């Protein structure tokens, strides 16, 4: 099985280059200002320019307004819009407005949370299962916390999907074996500190995920 890997929240040329060199299929650019991984439109332009066409650029948003989407898509030359905390109707509207592949992040803590996946059928193109954070959490993801992957082991996924939430070099093999995830997504798992990506960790994670 060939697993695709998204390295998310990149903010420097060095880490983007490490992700490309290591074989990442997707690179995530964060446009949620409260996040330590958030970047400006100028940063996005500089980071996106050298990314080759076979590596897809994903913009990460939390229930964004249209103006933010328009500016970010242009600056980051985005191929994909990834939406957190966005209801299915708004997801569908963004998908139609942007004309881009659209991902819905589904927060998971218990089996009941997976029911949300069904509500995004017809709205999103792809589901990204992430750890459900408390309502008062500062960030929707990138917290380094995993959920019970066994919840996905027998789940009938209604759309193409991927796995996020607390993935690291130490657990990526187990995560893929349990869930059969066709795509995995890491952010804090390849950092030396909040928002500070480590090129060696990026390389090691990509090697581990793509050589199972």
* Residues recognised as catalytic: 8, 130
DSSP category for residue 78:
-
89 token code pair: 């109707």
Query: From start to end of 17-136, where are the E strands?
Result: 26-30, 56-62, 80-84, 101-108, 126-131
d(C-alpha 151, C-alpha 113), whole Å: 10
CA distances from 189 to 13, 141, 169, 196 (A): 19, 12, 7, 11
**Which residue has 């903010």 as its token pair?**
11
Do 47 and 39 form a contact (C-beta atoms < 8 A)?
yes
DSSP category for residue 11:
-
Q: Which residues contact 107 (CB under 8 A, 6 or more apart)?
A: 113, 116, 130, 131, 132, 133, 140
Burial of residue 212 (CB within 10 Å: 0-12, 13-18, 19+) is exposed
């Amino acid at each position: 099985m060939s697993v695709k890997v998204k390295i998310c929240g990149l903010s420097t040329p060095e880490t983007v280059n490490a992700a490309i060199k290591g074989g990442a299929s997707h690179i995530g650019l964060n446009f949620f200002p409260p996040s330590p991984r958030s970047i400006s439109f100028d940063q996005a332009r500089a980071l996106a320019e050298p990314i080759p066409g076979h590596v897809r650029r994903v913009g990460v948003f939390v229930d964004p307004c249209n103006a933010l989407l328009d500016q970010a898509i242009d600056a980051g030359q985005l191929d994909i819009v990834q939406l957190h905390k966005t209801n299915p109707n708004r997801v569908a509207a963004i998908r139609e407005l942007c004309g881009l592949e659209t991902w819905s992040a589904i927060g998971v803590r218990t089996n009941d949370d997976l029911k949300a996946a069904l509500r995004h059928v017809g709205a999103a193109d792809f589901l990204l299962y992430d750890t459900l954070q408390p309502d008062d959490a500062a960030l929707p993801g990138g917290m380094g916390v995993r959920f019970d992957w066994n919840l996905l082991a027998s789940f009938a996924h209604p759309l193409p999907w991927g796995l996020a939430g607390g993935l690291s070099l130490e657990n990526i093999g187990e995560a893929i074996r349990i869930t059969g995830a066709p795509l995995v997504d890491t952010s804090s798992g390849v950092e030396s500190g909040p928002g500070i990506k480590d090129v060696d960790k990026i390389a090691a994670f990509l090697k581990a995920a793509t050589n199972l």
